[in-house]
Structure 1
Amino acid sequence: MTRRFALMIDPVAASEEREDFSGTFTAVDAAAPALSVGELSTQRGDGVFESIGVIDAHAQEVVPHLERLAHSARLCDLPVPHQEQWRQAVAVAAAECGEGEWVIKLILSRGVEHGPTPTAWVTAAPAADFSAVRVDGIRVVTLDRGYDLHVAERAPWLLLGAKTLSYAVNMAALREAHRRGADDAIFLSSDGFVLEAPTASLVLRVGERFVTPAPNGGILHGTTQLSVYEHLSARGFEVGYAEIPASDLVKADAAWLVSSVRLAAPITAVDGTALPVDAALTAELNQYLLSPRD
């Protein structure tokens, strides 16, 4: 059986004054039932989550993930998670991971319907093997996300900047990409601008400059994209954010989808049009992303 580990967290026990959070989370059998049938995360997707990559028992970019979890919680009117409590829970989970690549998931939901407290837990499991796509690359198709670039400003209740458990649309987009003979998708706004992938951020190379869609329009600010930018900036490259027309995708000198577990996957084609692949830089990025990062 695949080794897994899970912690149930008591978010009510957290306080700004408390220093020892060891008693505020409890190890549970990851293979056993743990949630009530009234749990809103399973019924309605009413919650938020993060996925943290783990390399040889070292959890990557923990603080940025916790900050984004807190941001998502605020947007969803959930209790803001106490960072130190969750950081310690992540450390306990990471210690249970073996060698190689793992993934830790942080989940915070509204809890049982009409219940008094939210539900929170941390899980750890071996990650899928993405070594091939980091080398061979992926083909993508573009899909209309159904809203314009600035809808998040007009309709914050759509929660477009939150990483919520409501992932049905994202999974439907991946299935549609597979039906079209591709590996992944890139969402476009209805007014023709590039957004993001269902589970990853997009980075384009244009000459010696790297650009990613500006984190507006409900685009989730990617933790791995930020790490990639730190590395590229240290190497002397220019990095930035912009509103990118969809027509610019096939003009890029190289492009990647980057995420916490898959890391950097070079894009080999967009809607059937071949795209150049920078194999050397891709290998360099993945070597950096596989190194310990806090």
Structure 2
Amino acid sequence: MPVFMLDVRPAGAPTSESTLRRVEAGVPTLDVRDLGPARGDGVFETIGVVGGHPQALDAHLKRLAHSAALLDLPEPNEEQWRHAITEAAASLPTDRQGGLKIVLTRGIEGSGQPTGWIVASPAEGDFAERETGIRVVTLDRGYTSDVAQRAPWLLPGAKTLSYAVNMAALREARRRGASDVIFVTSDGYVMEAPTSTVILRFGDRIVTPRTDIGILPGTSQLSVFKFAADRGLGTEEALVPTSDLLRADALWLVSSVRLATPITHVDDTEVSVDRELTRAMNEALLAREN
């Protein structure tokens, strides 16, 4: 699991000299005073890697910059991150999938110098759930659907390092005999999963929840919508009532590494699965360039 540390440069600064350092296993890499691990004061992206190629890189860099802006972090130097991500991806085996976790934090308090790193990980297992599907439970996120307008300081739509609630939700799912969670708003609308975007099919229409209700824009969701459009399916971002989870013709959780995982049960109720479309969707996601 290679780790790469960045000498973070301001946006627009030249990056001709090497600003990336590969850290050997067992070598200390991070100051414990860093505000990322100490307070969750940072942002991150997880990028899928196939055949040494980082997927949907443009979309991930755009979302990293958006998250950084929401936290008043310095704008990422896109050229520097693009080079670092490409080099880190090349360190992974090409015979199986992998992933990169890229992190940007505020750094040590008072230093004014952000911290950046990348962890490159080969995928574990064969992603059998893409075929078998998963069970999910719905959990109230504690927000109403207008949270992004009403309370922007809660940072809805930012991919931050503060993941304690998401991990607690996944533990609750396992206690209930499920594998994952779909968060819903307190006023009854579908949001997202802790680490995935929700996709629904209604006939020849593919739908995902609107991001203005306080959720992350999905990078893999953009690829799914392109795939759907190429097949002549309609696509839509909409307010999705929680009840629609049980009336949809198919449901998926979609993320950069797991890709499209079909949902078989919602809160112990069996739901329809479109296996043919799932296979085609995953073939397209594995083959994407950007």
TM-score, normalised by the number of residues in structure 1? 0.95
Superposition deviation, residue 8 in structure 1: 1.2
Q: Which runs of 4+ in 1 moved over 3 A?
A: none
In structure 1, the partner of 2:41 is 46
- Which of 24, 35, 58 is the aligned partner of 2:30? 35
Quote the Cα distance in structure 2 between the aligned partners of 1:276 and 1:142: 17
In structure 1, the partner of 2:246 is 250
Quote the Cα distance in structure 1 between the aligned partners of 2:107 and 2:15: 25
- Which of 63, 70, 73 is the aligned partner of 1:75? 70
Q: Residue 202 of structure 1 contacts residue 258 of structure 1 at CA under 8 Å; is this kept in 2?
A: yes
In structure 2, the partner of 1:62 is 57
Superposition deviation, residue 116 in structure 1: 2.6
Superposition deviation, residue 227 in structure 1: 0.3
Quote the Cα distance in structure 2 between the aligned partners of 1:35 and 1:94: 21
In structure 2, the partner of 1:128 is 124
Residues 134 and 19 (structure 1), Cα distance of their counterparts in 2 relative to 1, 3 Å cut: same
Quote the Cα distance in structure 2 between the aligned partners of 1:85 and 1:31: 26
Superposition deviation, residue 112 in structure 1: 1.2
Quote the Cα distance in structure 1 between the aligned partners of 2:126 and 2:166: 19
Question: What SS class does the counterpart of residue 211 from structure 2 fall into?
Answer: coil
Superposition deviation, residue 287 in structure 1: 1.0
- Which of 134, 137, 158 is the aligned partner of 1:138? 134
In structure 2, the partner of 1:241 is 237
- Calculate percent identity across the aligned residue pairs: 53
| Residue 215 of structure 2 corresponds to residue 210 of structure 1 | no
Quote the Cα distance in structure 2 between the aligned partners of 1:187 and 1:253: 20
Look up the equivalent residue of 2:267 and give its one-letter code.
Answer: D
| Residue 222 of structure 2 corresponds to residue 219 of structure 1 | no
| Residue 158 of structure 2 corresponds to residue 165 of structure 1 | no
Superposition deviation, residue 25 in structure 1: 1.8
Superposition deviation, residue 263 in structure 1: 0.4
Q: Where do 5+ consecutive residues of structure 1 fail to align?
A: none
Look up the equivalent residue of 1:207 and give its one-letter code.
Answer: G
Equivalent residues in 2 for 1:181-192, closer than 5 Å:
181-192=177-188
Superposition deviation, residue 70 in structure 1: 0.4
| Residue 276 of structure 2 corresponds to residue 280 of structure 1 | yes
Superposition deviation, residue 115 in structure 1: 2.1
Residues 70 and 259 (structure 1), Cα distance of their counterparts in 2 relative to 1, 3 Å cut: same
Superposition deviation, residue 6 in structure 1: 1.9
Look up the equivalent residue of 2:240 and give its one-letter code.
Answer: I
Q: Residue 55 of structure 1 contacts residue 292 of structure 1 at CA under 8 Å; is this kept in 2?
A: no
In structure 2, the partner of 1:10 is 7
Superposition deviation, residue 120 in structure 1: 0.6
Superposition deviation, residue 19 in structure 1: 5.7
In structure 2, the partner of 1:266 is 262
In structure 2, the partner of 1:84 is 79
Quote the Cα distance in structure 1 between the aligned partners of 2:70 and 2:101: 19
Q: Where do 5+ consecutive residues of structure 2 fail to align?
A: none
Q: Residue 11 of structure 2 contacts residue 78 of structure 2 at CA under 8 Å; is this kept in 1?
A: no
